[in-house]
């Protein structure tokens, strides 16, 4: 098809991307064919290109309706960096700015216009649109965050309702609705409200393979949070807490541990909140500790880590908040710190008025609890929760359950029977109320709590039958029985557990019941991004280059070019125009605008550190496959080779990578296996390198290389310095 070639070329020239992501091409083609569409793709999967490409193909004006002014501004800035004629009209602009945009709109100079739904409600604006593009008017509409139109959605905005009249007012312009979260109900509602005509419905996988999910028992909140954040030293992290007080105490504790962090919640005044958002976007602040108030409007695409310090009220909310991680598609981590008291803590926040509403709140919470305590893949659970079959790999390689595995509990059936029988006995004694997992655990372990005394539960046959077993383990088993539907929830604001009919049958028939424990592993947690061989020094240099350039232009750094591009630059290290254009994300305009200074920086760094340049793009697996290959094949192979102390040159030949790249991997390997260094360097060489480093004060490699008359390779020097650093850090 002719348009296929054209849109491929546009993708390459303008954005520097080599191929489309799933459904992007279909969406673009539907738009060009004048067909309505509903596009449902998860955050970070590339919805924007779906409406940004068509105007570049046929020159027609696309009007994008978007709910948030800050997001609009970011998108427009980002489009300008690739030379795209786009603009926005919103209430944040003054009359002069607005009239400039209006003039460009009429002349046809603008191809893409972002507006707020409020603007779209104005008749004068609609009249203007009809005259736009020298009277040709609007070619098509794109409605971003389209779920905002539905009361069933999680973010209903009444002002979106006015968009129902678009169809009548602009009968010939096709409408594309785009959203990340849509249940079937919301989807139908969007189609109905907007009056879409036989829309092409494009629904992507809800899975986000670049996110690694992890649930960790909470024991020392502050140090656990600090430990996770330290894994991402120059990157952004968001920590979500349940209460304002918690955000402040966590932020203070982080500060105390030397991690700059800012608290953010609805009690902070608007101006200050705006400042924090801005500092975060401009990379002046990397860690924000927030309540859910820190949400919409945060478009920083390179958030590498989202931590929750407590369970939250629903899987929807969890998906929403973890959705802020890895919007640029790069590997990112979501950690939930979970404790046995979390469910009760959230139940206390329920409003107990309407029984129906209460029931919904309880059901939502119990799904979220099931996510936290599942012994199955967390990606699978999330995708299935949203009504899709899981099509990814199993094990997924990107959740703690799959990475670490579980073990079947020996005697699980017997243990489960004891638990179920105890609950049955409780049901008998207390027909119209019951107890939660905490109390039941206390009974089984032979606890001496007030409640046990009050109800005389020491007399239960099951009392202390699991004495000596860790309480968290039992609580986890109880939840597994609940997830197997052998127990059911009942009760009012405080829920409690009852034996279900199924549980009763299974108990009577002595059927087998499987219980699982997480496997206890200490360091199975490495992932590709911790082991990717990227030169940290060059990354830092490029990052500050980007920040300075972005600050000059008054835009956030990730808008100038994203972290994916940054990493490709650091690994491919282009120093010629041709190599530069091969970097994904380096379209022609960006290359022309700041390619020269960028290449100068890279060349200087590479020469000072003996790094190769102009490296062809590594065939990094695509997103979908990456879920399985979280640890890249070469990294796995290399690790095995390092374990056997194979020389760098031989390793390089074996995996087909440059010697310098293998050296980078080895340096990282040594951080966790410091003793392996003696297979690669003898004592006296080690000392010579350290002496040279001390004399030359610093970690720059070239002076050391020269001081040793070029007899010791850069790889060995780098390795020794890394080794010294890691042993110093350890002592």
Binding site for ligand ADP (CB under 6 A): 17, 20-21, 24, 41, 43-49, 301, 327-329, 562, 584
Name the binder of 225 from Zn ion, ligand ADP, none, CB < 5-8 A by kind: none
Question: In the complex, what is the shortest distance from the CB of residue 19 to ligand ADP, in angstroms, rounded to a whole number?
Answer: 6
Of Zn ion, ligand ADP, none, which one sits near residue 626, judging by CB under 5 to 8 A according to partner kind? none
Q: Please report, as residue ranges, which positions from 382 to 421 form the binding site for Zn ion (by CB under 5 A).
A: 396, 399, 402
Closer to ligand ADP by CB, 10 or 481: give it.
Answer: 10
User: How many Cβ atoms are within 10 Å of 256's Cβ, its own excluded?
Assistant: 11
| Binder of residue 329, out of Zn ion, ligand ADP, none (CB less than 5 to 8 A by kind) | ligand ADP
Q: Of the two residues 73 and 368, which places its CB atom closer to ligand ADP in the complex? A: 73
163 or 377: whose CB is closer to Zn ion?
377
Neighbours of 460 (CB within 10 A): 18
Of residues 127 and 520, the one with the C-beta less far from Zn ion = 520
Cα–Cα distance measured from residue 611 to residue 661, given in angstroms and rounded to the nearest whole number = 8
Q: What does 46 bind: Zn ion, ligand ADP, none (CB cut-off 5 to 8 Å by kind)?
A: ligand ADP
Which C-beta is closer to Zn ion: that of 226 or that of 398? 398
At its nearest, how many Å lie between Zn ion and the CB of residue 624? 15
- 287 near 260, Cβ under 8 Å? yes
Contact string 630-669 vs Zn ion (x = CB under 5 A) = ----------------------------------------
Q: Nearer to Zn ion by C-beta: 292 or 628?
A: 628
Question: Toward ligand ADP, which CB reaches closer, 204 or 392?
Answer: 204
**Identity of the residue, 65 or 241, whose beta carbon is nearer to ligand ADP in the bound complex:** 65
Size of the site for Zn ion (CB under 5 A): 5
Whole-angstrom distance, CA of residue 298 vs CA of residue 240: 14
Nearer to Zn ion (CB atom), residue 262 or residue 401 = 401
Element (H, E) at 263: strand 261-264
What three-state secondary structure class fits 491?
A: strand
Give the DSSP per-residue string, 269-313: -HHHHHHHHHHHHTTS--EEEE-TTSBTB---TTEEEEEESS--S
20 or 496: whose CB is closer to ligand ADP?
20
Distance between CA 571 and CA 634 in Å, rounded? 15
29 CB contacts (<8 Å, ≥6 apart)?
A: 1, 3, 4, 7
Q: How far is the CB of 44 from Zn ion (least distance, A)?
A: 19
The C-alpha atoms of residue 236 and residue 280 are separated, in whole angstroms, by: 8
Beta strands 200-203 and 236-240: pairing type? Answer: unpaired
Instruction: Report in angstroms the alpha-carbon separations of 655 from 301, 551, 637, 659, 704.
Output: 32, 41, 7, 10, 28
CB of residue 222 to Zn ion, shortest distance in Å: 28
Residue 377 binds which entry of Zn ion, ligand ADP, none, CB below 5-8 Å type-dependent: Zn ion
When CB distances are held under 5 to 8 angstroms depending on the partner's kind, the choice from Zn ion, ligand ADP, none that residue 247 binds is: none
> Which H or E element spans position 143?
strand 140-143
| Backbone phi, psi, residue 87, to 5° | -155, 175
b/e map 511-538, b = 16+ CB within 10 Å = eebebbbbeeeeeeebbbbebbbbbebb
* Nearest distance in Å: CB 217, Zn ion: 18
72 vs 377 by CB, closer to Zn ion: 377
Q: What angle do CA 688, 690, 691 make, to 5 degrees?
A: 65
Helix (H, G, I), strand (E, B) or coil at 333: strand
Taking CB under 5 A as the rule, does residue 211 contact Zn ion? Answer: no
For the bound state, the minimum distance from the C-beta of residue 396 to Zn ion, rounded and expressed in Å, comes to 3
> Smaller CB distance to Zn ion: residue 110 or 398?
398
Least separation in angstroms between CB 563 and ligand ADP: 8
For residue 264, what are the β-bridge partners? 290
Task: Find the shortest distance in angstroms from Cβ 141 to ligand ADP.
Answer: 17
Q: Which residues contact 609 (CB under 8 A, 6 or more apart)?
A: 535, 537, 538, 700, 701, 702, 714, 718
Choice between 82 and 506, CB closer to ligand ADP: 82
Residue 3 C-beta: closest distance to ligand ADP, Å: 16
Q: Smallest distance, Å, CB 664 to ligand ADP?
A: 24
Select the binding partner of residue 623 from ligand ADP, Zn ion, none (C-beta < 5 to 8 A, by kind). none
Cα Rg of the chain, angstroms: 29
Residue 64's DSSP bridge partners are: 114, 142
Note whether 338 and 372 are within 8 A (CB): yes
Given Zn ion, ligand ADP, none, residue 399, with its beta carbon under 5 to 8 Å by kind, binds Zn ion
Give the CA-trace dihedral at 278, 281, 283, 288, to 10 degrees. Answer: 80
Q: Is 377 in the site for Zn ion (CB under 5 A)?
A: yes
In the complex, the smallest distance separating the C-beta of residue 223 from Zn ion, rounded to whole angstroms, is 26
Among ligand ADP, Zn ion, none, what does residue 366 contact (CB within 5–8 Å per kind)? none
Among ligand ADP, Zn ion, none, what does residue 20 contact (CB within 5–8 Å per kind)? ligand ADP
Rule CB under 5 A: is residue 499 a binding residue for Zn ion? Answer: no
Q: Quick check: 542 and 600 in contact, CB under 8 A?
A: no
Contact 119, 63 (CB under 8 A): no
CA distance 228 to 308: 11
Residue nearest to ligand ADP (CB): 46
Give the torsion through C-alpha atoms of 227, 230, 232, 236, to 10 deg. 90
Rounded distance between C-alpha atoms, residue 478 and residue 504, angstroms: 15
**Least Å distance between CB 336 and Zn ion?**
14
Q: How far is the CB of 319 from ligand ADP (least distance, A)?
A: 13
Task: Give the residue with the Cβ less far from ligand ADP, 142 or 444.
Answer: 142
For residue 402, the partner it binds in ligand ADP, Zn ion, none, with Cβ less than 5 to 8 A by kind, is Zn ion
70 binds, among Zn ion, ligand ADP, none (CB under 5 to 8 A by kind): none
Least distance to ligand ADP from the beta carbon of 322, Å? 13
426 binds, among Zn ion, ligand ADP, none (CB under 5 to 8 A by kind): none
Report how far residue 628's alpha carbon sits from residue 589's, in angstroms, rounded to the nearest whole number.
35
Q: Summarize as ranges the residues that interact with Zn ion (CB under 5 A).
A: 377, 379, 396, 399, 402
């Amino acid at each position: 098809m002719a348009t296929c070639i054209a849109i491929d070329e546009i993708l390459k020239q303008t954005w520097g991307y080599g191929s489309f992501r799933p459904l992007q091409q279909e969406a673009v083609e539907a738009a060009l064919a004048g067909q309505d569409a509903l596009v449902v793709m998860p955050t970070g999967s590339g919805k924007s290109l779906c409406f940004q490409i068509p105007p570049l193909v046929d020159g027609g004006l696309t009007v994008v309706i978007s709910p948030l002014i800050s997001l609009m501004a970011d998108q427009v800035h980002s489009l300008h960096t690739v030379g795209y004629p786009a603009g926005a009209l919103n209430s944040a602009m003054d009359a002069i700015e607005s009239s400039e945009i209006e003039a460009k709109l009429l002349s046809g100079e603008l191809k893409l216009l972002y507006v707020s739904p409020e603007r779209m409600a104005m008749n004068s604006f609609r009249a203007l649109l009809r005259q736009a593009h020298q009277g040709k008017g609007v070619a098509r509409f794109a409605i971003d965050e389209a779920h905002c139109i539905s009361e069933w959605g999680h973010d209903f905005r009444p002002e979106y309702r006015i968009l129902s009249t678009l169809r009548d007012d602009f009968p010939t312009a096709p409408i594309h609705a785009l959203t990340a979260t849509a249940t079937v109900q919301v989807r139908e509602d969007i189609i109905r409200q907007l009056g879409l005509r036989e829309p092409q419905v494009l629904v992507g996988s809800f899975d986000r393979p670049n996110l690694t999910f992890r649930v960790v028992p909470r024991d020392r909140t502050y140090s656990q949070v600090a430990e996770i954040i330290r894994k991402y030293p120059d990157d952004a992290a968001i920590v979500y807490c349940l209460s304002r007080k918690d955000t402040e105490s966590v932020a203070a504790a982080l500060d105390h541990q030397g991690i700059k962090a800012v608290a953010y919640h609805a009690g902070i005044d608007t101006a200050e909140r705006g400042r924090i958002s801005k500092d975060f976007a401009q990379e002046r602040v990397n860690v924000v500790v927030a309540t859910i108030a820190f949400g919409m409007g945060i478009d920083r695409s390179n958030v590498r880590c989202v931590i929750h310090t407590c369970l939250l009220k629903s899987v929807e909310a969890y998906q929403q908040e973890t959705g802020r991680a890895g919007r640029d598609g790069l590997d990112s981590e979501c950690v939930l710190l979970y404790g046995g008291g979390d469910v009760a803590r959230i139940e206390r926040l329920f409003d107990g008025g309407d029984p129906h509403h209460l029931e919904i709140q309880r059901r939502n919470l119990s799904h979220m609890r099931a996510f936290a305590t599942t012994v199955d893949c967390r990606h699978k659970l999330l995708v299935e929760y949203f009504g899709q079959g899981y099509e990814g790999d199993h094990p997924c390689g990107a959740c703690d359950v799959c990475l670490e595995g579980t073990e079947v509990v020996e005697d699980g059936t017997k243990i489960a029977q004891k638990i179920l029988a105890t609950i049955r006995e409780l049901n008998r004694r207390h027909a119209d109320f019951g107890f939660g997992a905490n109390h039941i655990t206390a009974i089984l372990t032979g606890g001496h709590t007030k409640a046990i005394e009050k109800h005389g539960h020491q007399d239960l046959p099951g009392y202390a039958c699991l004495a000596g077993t860790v309480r968290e383990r039992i609580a986890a088993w109880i939840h597994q029985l609940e997830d197997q539907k052998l127990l059911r929830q009942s009760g009012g604001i405080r829920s409690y557990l009852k034996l279900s009919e199924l549980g009763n049958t299974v108990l009577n028939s002595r059927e087998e019941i499987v219980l699982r424990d997480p496997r206890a592993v200490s360091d199975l947690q490495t992932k590709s991004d911790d082991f990717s061989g990227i030169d940290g020094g060059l990354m830092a240099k490029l990052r500050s280059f980007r920040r300075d350039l972005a600050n000059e232009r008054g835009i956030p750094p990730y808008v100038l070019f994203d972290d994916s591009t940054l990493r490709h630059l650091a690994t491919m290290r282009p120093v010629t125009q041709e190599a530069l254009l091969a970097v994904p994300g380096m379209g022609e305009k960006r290359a022309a605008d700041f390619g020269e200074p960028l290449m100068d920086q890279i060349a200087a760094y590479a020469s000072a550190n003996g790094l190769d340049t102009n490296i062809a793009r590594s065939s990094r697996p695509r997103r979908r496959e990456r879920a399985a290959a979280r640890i890249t094949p070469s990294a796995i192979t290399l690790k095995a080779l390092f374990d056997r102390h194979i020389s760098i040159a031989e390793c390089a030949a074996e995996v087909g990578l440059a010697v310098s790249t293998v050296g980078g991997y080895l340096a990282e390997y040594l951080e966790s296996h410091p003793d392996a260094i003696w297979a690669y360097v003898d004592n006296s060489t080690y000392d010579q390198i350290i002496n040279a480093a001390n004399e030359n004060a610093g970690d720059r490699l070239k002076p050391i290389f020269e001081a040793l008359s070029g007899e010791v390779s850069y790889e060995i020097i780098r390795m020794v310095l890394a080794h010294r650093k890691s042993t110093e850090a350890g002592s």
